[in-house]
Structure formats: C-alpha cells, structure tokens
Amino acid sequence: MDIRPQAPGYRLKAKSLDNGETWQPMVSQPIPAATNQGVIFRDKTVGLMIQANNREQSSSRIKYSLSLSYDNCETFPFVYMPFTPTWYGGYSQIIKREDGINIISIE
C-alpha cells in the first residue's frame, strides 16, 4: 500500500501478507512527496513496481516523477521525470494496457 503523508515529507509504504487482514510498515528507500495523492502499480510480468507522485516536499504539485523498483519496493534506483520540474500534475493513475506496456493518466 502506498500512503500519502499528512504533511510534506516522504511516501509511506505498508505491506500485507494475509490479503489485507493486517498491515506492517515497510522500511524502504524514502521517496520525497507532496501532500497530494500518489499511486503505486505492480507489473508482475516484468517484475516492476512503479511509484508515481509529485516529488516536491511542499503542497506544490510539481516535479511529477516515476520511481521504478525491481526489488519489491525495497529500493527505487530509477527515477524518471517525464515533464519539466515546474509542470503542474496532480492526481494520477497507472493502467496496464498489456504485458510490459502501461498507460499513465494525470490530472
């Protein structure tokens, strides 16, 4: 689960091993975040987790980035910013089109 911070800071992560009955916090590489929504998406076919959010630690919705993890959210060594750092992008969603091809829609 991806959890947005109540105050500007970092994305929080939690995992469940019993289909959501209980949750435990994950210790993973911190991802800077604004206070708005982020989304995490798993593509099991290629073993990829995609974290999409604004990486500005304020209420600004700028620095929209995709952070990629191939080790189940332990680390996010690849960060891709598809727009200029000042571009406004709010809420987003990741949709799987087919194996290895995903669509990202952004407000």
Contact predicate 32/38, CB 8 Å: no
pLDDT of residue 6: 83
Burial of 35 (0-12, 13-18, 19+ CB in 10 A): middle
pLDDT of residue 107: 85
Closest CA to 56 of 25, 75, 84: 84
pLDDT at 101: 86
What pLDDT, on the 0 to 100 scale, is given for residue 4?
Answer: 86
Q: What is the pLDDT of residue 29?
A: 86
| CA-CA-CA-CA torsion sign (95, 51, 35, 65) | negative
Q: How many CB atoms lie within 10 A of CB 11?
A: 23
> For residue 93, what pLDDT band results from cuts at 50, 70 and 90?
very high
Tens digits of residue pLDDT in 31-78: 999 988 899 999 988 899 999 999 999 989 999 999 999 998 989 999
